[in-house]
Amino acid sequence: MSYALPLAALAFANLLGIISPGPAFLMVSRAAAGRSLSVGVGLGAGVAIAATAWAAAACFGIALLMTQFASVYGIIQLAGGAYLIWLGIGAWRHSRAPAPAAPSAAAPAARDGIARAVLTGAWLSLGNPKIIIFFSSIFVALLPHDAPLWVRLAAVGIVGVQEISWYTMVAFVFSRPRVQAAYAQARKWIERALGTVLIGLGARIIVAVRL
């Protein structure tokens, strides 16, 4: 049996999900435009790592099993919603602060910033309950239930490659000098708009929780 078509369909469905603007896209583009390419790539890498972990969980039935425990799933939703609200409040606070200075050349500080960006991106994806539902749905719908191990591993690999490629490209585009200059001019309003969107998304998730 050929598994090329199911894998191609899964890749297409996942690509559509990735390129749809969401909290991860907003955070990566903001980090790249307001900070640096390396910070944007780091945040995108964190998002990709966590999304790939959710894809693996969905592929092997772990995420589907977890959704059967309403209280555990509800706690994840609450944590994810609260984190989005916290990020949104942070964006509003940053909008009132002076524009950050140019990045320092000190290597330890740069490493700390990138490491923090990776952790932020990872938590952003781990705390987003929609990712669980999305991956569970596409893996169940598009992969045969008797697909061999190599097909499931290939599917998870496709997700990982697509995620890191997309967010690296986003970081590269938004780190260009012209984009950064435009961001600096409209920084206050961009930060406030981003904060409002994140707070709204977080509140919507929390309101929908059923423990």
Entry field: residues in the chain: 211
Question: Given this model, what pLDDT does residue 210 score?
Answer: 65
Of 114, 110, 101, 109, the residue nearest 44 (C-alpha): 114
What residues in the chain have per-residue pLDDT under 70?
1, 61-73, 76-77, 80, 94-112, 127-130, 140, 210-211
Question: Given this model, what pLDDT does residue 77 score?
Answer: 67
